[in-house]
Amino acid sequence: MRLTGYLLMVSGWLLAVAALLLLEGTRQRIAFVLAALLVQLLGLGLVAYRYRSLQRGPE
Amino acid sequence: MNLAVCLLCILLVPFATAGLALIHQGLGRSRSAAHAMLATLCAVAATAIVFVLIGSAWAGYTSGLAHTFQFVGKKWDWLGAEPFFAADLRPSLLRSPYPALVLALQMFAVGLASLIPISAGSDRWRLAAICASSALFAGLIFPLFAHWVWGSGWLARLSPLFGLPAFADTGGAAVLQVVGGLTALSIAWILGPRQGKYADDTAAAIPGHNIVLVLFGCLLALIGWIGLESAASMLFYGLNSVQIIVIAINAMLCASGGCLAAVLITQLRYRKPDASLSANGWIAGLVAGSAGCGLTSPLATLFIGIVAGALITILVETLELKLFIDDPGGAISVHLGAGLWGLIAFGLFGPTTGSRAALLLTQFVGISTLLGVIFPLVHLGNLLLNRLVPFRVDADGDWQGMDIRELGAGAYPEFVIHADEFVPR
């Protein structure tokens, strides 16, 4: 799950760069970059969820 | 650029370092106070050495040498290519003081940013591991992103590459605060919570031991912040020395808005203002305002500070209670949360000659880069380092406190506050 989270974060960035390279209009670019950020937040959420279950310290 | 004013501003930056050190030390436990301050000194020392010898070559500076590659018909500037060991420093002084000023500012700034993760790892992060992680930060992570934003790297060149405004970070909200905050998140995850913090899905409150130092640190940080923002704005964005007045006014407005928002919210929620959250609100205001210091209007700056102060009161609680992230000094909320808000806020309120949407888009691209490149790199680097130099102190050290465990003596030997520190289990 952690690895998937990191892959999603990197993929989100690649999406954002691809949007800049492939699209011309500002609105289209913003839509794609926002979607990329959502993908990254999903990835961060997955990593956070994974660590959340590990965060119980020694009793 | 006025050389004397710029140099004076750079020399103020260590005040911010001292301020953050006092805040982090005061918000930690008394049994780890000396360790926290020594860790600060060691981190600042390690980052200065590693950055000057290695990192500065990769961070580079505007119009300096750089590694580039061609992709889809565009030239991507991704890493500085200056000589290692600052070998070109003295000869370049004869041509221009600019590279030396950039090096001096970044040397102090990287030390400041390296303190952010120390706060998140307070009371359980070993000294050797702190030094190793700080060296990684100063040698690779910081120079990479600093080059992209401050050294005419690809994020600073979005205009020729894609017809967008350059990613703006005049005071280091992204380069220092968000990168430091992401490192703090990585460290908090790797270390896990302090012993006794969580039991049966409930979080125990472990209050800071010296709130007076924390609040004094806030005032000290303000001076350093003004110096940092002024020097960075002059060196990387061409602001003149007269505009420092606006930077100083905006910094004060942002910090004030953040602090008073936190005071008001904690008063409403807990019936009494919370001093540590209010101090964090002050710093959150400074962090958020540093994205566009000197460029945003005073009213917009005040609004940015107020939102930052309100935001951290929610973030601190969410991280601690919902995500089980033990961050004793609230560094992740303050530096990462408020830093990201500051970057978005610059897109909303920053000055632009083109469309507002394009400026906002640029800021989003910068944030995406931080989350998609810098954070995985930071976390992977720290996970590997943790294998070589174990980060977390052993269970006995956790109970004993870092002062006794790692330094052999407490910070306050005359005041036995926690009897259990000195009684065998």
The conformation of residue A24, written as its DSSP 8-state character, comes to -
pLDDT at B187: 97
Q: Answer yes or no: are the C-beta atoms of B47 and B110 closer than 8 Å.
A: yes
Amino acid identity at B85? F
Amino acid identity at B44? V
Q: Where are the alpha helices (DSSP H) in A1-59?
A: 2-22, 26-54
Q: Answer yes or no: are the C-beta atoms of B343 and B174 closer than 8 Å.
A: yes
Residue A21 belongs to some domain of the structure:
yes
Residue A18 belongs to some domain of the structure:
yes
CB contact under 8 A, B379 and A6: yes
B387 CA: distance to closest CA in chain A (Å): 18
pLDDT at A58: 47
How confident is the model over B131-137, as a mean pLDDT?
98
Q: Which residues contact A8 (CB under 8 A, 6 or more apart)?
A: A39, A40, A42, A43, A46
Range of the domain at A7: 2-54
**d(Cα A19, Cα A13) in Å, to the nearest integer?**
10
Total domains, chain A:
1
Rg (CA), chain A: 15
Q: Which residues contact A22 (CB under 8 A, 6 or more apart)?
A: none
Domains within chain B, CATH numbers bracketed: 3-69+84-195+219-388 (1.10.3430.10)
Instruction: List pLDDT tens digits, range A7-33.
Output: 999 999 999 999 999 999 999 999 999
Q: Answer yes or no: are the C-beta atoms of B59 and B80 closer than 8 Å.
A: yes
Instruction: List pLDDT tens digits, range B174-206.
Output: 999 999 999 999 999 999 999 888 887 788 888
Report the b/e string of B148-173 with b at 16+ CB within 10 A: bbbbbbbbbbbeebbebbbbbbbbbb
Residue A43 belongs to some domain of the structure:
yes
Tokens of B5: 């004013």
**d(Cα B404, Cα B11) in Å, to the nearest integer?**
34
The closest alpha carbon to A55, from B28, B185, B33, B331, belongs to B185
The closest alpha carbon to B339, from B290, B409, B376, B388, belongs to B290
Residues of A with CB below 8 A from B352's CB?
none
Q: Answer yes or no: are the C-beta atoms of B209 and B33 closer than 8 Å.
A: yes
pLDDT at B397: 83
pLDDT at B65: 93
User: Which range, of B304-313, B338-347, B390-399, averages the lowest pLDDT?
Assistant: B390-399
CB contact under 8 A, B194 and A57: yes
For B384, half-sphere exposure in the C-beta direction (CA atoms, 13 angstrom radius) is 7
Query: By CA distance, what is A3's nearest residue in B?
Result: B376
Angle between helices B298-317 and B275-289 (to 10 degrees): 130
Residue A25 belongs to some domain of the structure:
yes
Amino acid identity at B249? I
Residue A59 belongs to some domain of the structure:
no
Q: Which of A6, A54, A59 sits opposite B376 (nearest CB)?
A: A6
Residue A13 belongs to some domain of the structure:
yes
**pLDDT of B424 strictly over 60:** no
Q: Which of A11, A26, A56 sits opposite B361 (nearest CB)?
A: A26
Residue A20 belongs to some domain of the structure:
yes
Residue A45 belongs to some domain of the structure:
yes
Residues of B with CB below 8 A from A10's CB?
372-373, 376
Instruction: List pLDDT tens digits, range B199-228.
Output: 877 888 888 999 999 999 999 999 999 999
CB-CB neighbours of B353 under 10 Å = 6
